[in-house]
Structure 1
Amino acid sequence: MVHRALTGKTHTFGTRFLRFVRALPGTTLLVLFLLLVPLCLAAPADFIPDPAHQAPATVVVGGDRAYPPYEFIDKDGNPAGYNVDLTRAIAEVMGMKVRFVFGNWSEVRAGLQNGSIDILQGLSYSAQRLSSVEFSPPHTIVHHAIFARRDAKPVKSLEELRGKKVLVFQSGIMHERLKQMGFEKDLVLTPTPAEALRLLASGQGDYAVVAQLPGIYLIRELRLTNLVPVAKAVVSEQYCYAVQRGDKELLARFNEGLAIVIKTGQYAQIYNRWLGVNDPPRVTRELALKYGAMILIPLLIVLAVTALWSKTLHKRVAERTTALAQEVAERNKALEELKRHQDKLIQADKMTSLGTLVSGVAHEINNPNGLLLLDIPVLKRVHDDAEEILEAHYREQGDFMLGGVPYSEMRDEIPRILDEMQDGAQRIKRIVNDLKDFARKDMGQKSLIDLDAVARTALRLVDPTIRSSTDHFQSAFHGSLPQILGNGQRIEQVIVNLVLNACQALPNRDCGVFIGTSYDAERGQVLLQVTDQGVGVAQEHLPYLLDPFFTTKRESGGTGLGLSVSAGIVKEHGGALQFQSTPGRGTTVTLSFPVPDRSPLT
């Protein structure tokens, strides 16, 4: 097995940058190239995050040394590709330290089973493999194609390859599928997809079945001009992370990190960089150098002036910050109160910026999701119309292949898949609408609101965190609470903070979280309680929970502003926040708001 330690970002960033710029036209490519070269050279030498936020153990990630553009060893000897960038992004957001181990695929697969490798970053899902590994949700779909020499007879499906010599990547998903179809005696196994295509180009074998994108990529890179894909997307497989059976904790961490990377937009950038752009270069190196030389000197001057200005600005900011800190130390209690208000303004500004970003992303998601909601019912009607014909053919002719899978397996799967797709699209629509409401600019206006409805909206926003933190979440809403006077958006922010804190306090998934609402008619108050079975809060810390910057989660990135901002919002509404906690047994937070009209419920 080939072991290569990850030494830094510099070379891999340069490789990804070169692949990115190959798809850009003309002058745009040149300008971006010269703008980003200094940034590439200045990239940090260490990929792993600040040691203060690292997980205690290094996760060993296995990958194929020759499966571009998904994962491969680049010309500098470093791991590169879509899988590598995605794993690095997940490790960064989850505070994990990872080490890549690349080698022949069969050896890497064996490494997962013998424990020398913790997780595979790219393994196609199959029911047969479930006996030895556990899969994450798919992070992409890999389409497989049939490749042939230009003078070969065209084929349209795997079934047409019977009796032919077929080159296939050993231990890959297509090796397993072709064996299941009875092709084993006609298969020629190769250690890498590149070797399969080389042998096919040299006249050995009749066809090669290789993942479509790696195949096209390798044909271009190896200049195998006599090869073409004769049947694209004959089989489509789910491409996932995989761990040994039973390693649910590591898989859960990667699942959570993958969800975060998708939400932040990093996933889309990584996908487009490696899988979304696969065009041949449009500009020669000589032409790039020619035009680059014409603007290099002015550009370097601009960059130098920018760097000098930035350094001066940072120095002035540092000097001003020091002066302000000295003044704060000498001021009395009134200035401390002013500082707390300033902190709230900073937090509000961050939320405004986040709201603008979320609104833009939500709009971009709604457009393609709207197409899904329109097209999926059409597909369901098409399937319903075709089902009788397919069943008749099945009864008369026996089993046949449909989408690369036997019809006997797909007959029950297709309706389920279409229903899941429609349910998923509807769920996306609801979540996006909730995010848009949560991120909409807050004008500070108050109106009569239903606390139950506000709480339900807040729970939908944090539903992924709840599901990744506990198997025991319960909610109990009053159902007929009197309305309170307030700003629903701000109160929603308070509930989101309380639920997130409860989830973060849980030591494991067996501990639960409860949220409920009630009405205290005697006091004329509407109440909301959030209870967790977490680690609890020490009694000496309870008086300081609402102080700005006080946090017991500093090691995991806590800022101490969440509860402080929430307390300010509650105070503006005439409400109160109360905490009860027992170390080791959990915490209960009670949120109360006055009812404008104390008339009894009807």
Structure 2
Amino acid sequence: MSLTGINGTKDGFPVRTLVTHYCRDLSNDLFQPKTFRLILAIALGLMLYATTLWAAPKIEYAGPFIDKPPVIIGGMQDFPPYEFLDRNGNPSGFNVELTRAIARVMEMNVEIQLGNWNVMRQALVHGDIDALQGLNFSAERTKEVDFSPPHSVVQYSIWARLGTPKISQLSEIQGKTVVVLKGSISDELLQSAGINNLIRADSYGEALRLVASGKYDYLAAAKLPIQALSTTMRLVNIVPLMNIDSLPYSYAVKRGNLALMGRFSEGLAILKKTGEYQKIHHRWLGVLEPQALPIKQIIKYATPVVGILLLIIFSIVLWSRMLKKQVAQRTAALAHEVSERERAMKELQHHQRQLIQADKMASLGILVAGVAHEINNPIGGILLGLPTLHKAHDMASSCLEERYRESGDFTIGGLRYSVMREEVPLLFDEMVQGAKRIKHIVEDLKDFSRTIDPTCTTPLDLNTIVKTSVRLAEHTIKKTTDSFVENYAESLPQIYGCSQRLEQIVINLILNACQALEHRGQSITLRTYHINNEVRLEVKDKGVGIPKEHFPHLTDPFFTTKREVGGTGLGLSISAGIVKEHGGQLKFNSTPGKGTKVTLALPVVKENAA
């Protein structure tokens, strides 16, 4: 008797022959001994056939090409949803449907046998079956089998009873009893991790019962099959604690059977290209199996998220830049405001100092007027007395000469007469000239300090104004240079103006020229001349010169490069105002390092111009 039916009976006649031989008389001899023996033989044969089918591994003939030699495909009988026996005892699951599809596209005749896992694996090694439709890859297993490209991924986990403390690494179950499926990848993984107390079960159902009953501590097994079996077996006290690994799951053939492996690999590739693989995968596994998202799906879902993030980042960057720009503008505005306030404060301080200086000058004018008056009185007496003394000396000189002739040289007032007779007349002349000079300077100071009437305009001679100014600044000139040259043009036309204010301009120009000199060897030259309808004064020095960048600010109030030595920056500003009042011009020409030339041009009186 074979696995597929009954070949004969005890007496060697086939069952079909027995039925045909005795069937003729069955209706007439139903209760005869011979008929009874026939019925009993048929019943015993059917019972033996049914018993044989129940005890053998479950076999399915797949593929339309039954005329070709069958390829025997093995699998595990309790590994849902990948491969398992359904309620009718037929092979089912993802692996089974995938194998059928590959058989169809590759024109293969396959037999699918599902049974005990360890038995099936040994059957492949010994050549009793041609392939396994699901085997996890490991380097150790490549010594015995060849793998196709993976058709799915299986995740393995550590399971335990409800209430067992969570674990985060395998070392925490060291010393505990762990149930594994005999010959499974879990068995190999835990052995390589150094876990020693392994309990090997023949099936996942047995392994689940051993842990659920409390006999052993942990179970190491595939996640999806254990979830499915625990639901089917209603074992609600088994829960996963941690994931061990996710491993590729492939077809496997006996090592060296490359032709068969090539057919499975090619068929799998065709199914993936046509999209049938994806349909089978989705039908059985869907989102249950851990897998990497396809790149297109990642792009599909990531694109809007990335777009929104980029938009947010761009908005933040743009807002940040705008904020920085506003802060910079506000900072610049505040800095400008602070600068303006500082400048205003400095101008106020300068104005205050100028007011103080003006007050000092006003007080000095009053003082000068008083001092001049006090000096004028004794100077007037000196000028009146000196001629009388000079006359008395002349009258007494005849008597002194006579004595000198008679008695020889003698001493008067500590001086020998022979020297005094020559020196005294010269002393008288110098004293008279000095007194007159003092009187002249006092008169100039009185004029300079006198309160100015803005409407004061009289015909003036420029040469006289310049000479008066030189006398007032003579002390500064002598301290500054050994070369002060004056060239006055003759018969200059008269100008209209206020002599005191014009003297103020000339004195300021002379003092500026003196301050520009670096040593006494440098010179200052004054020149007056007449050209067209103007009379001009030219003040030229050989000093340091003026930088070009300072030219636009020379007549600005409070602009000075000599603030550290007491300069106020008002001299040229005031001078420019006075020149404008007189209808004239003030021109500057300078070369840094070589000197400066300032030209004062004033209009002549119209009748003179005519």
When the two structures are superposed, what TM-score results if normalisation uses the length of structure 2? 0.41
- Name the larger-Rg structure: 2
Of structures 1 and 2, the one with the larger relative CO (CA 8 A, separation 6+) is 1
When the two structures are superposed, what TM-score results if normalisation uses the length of structure 1? 0.42
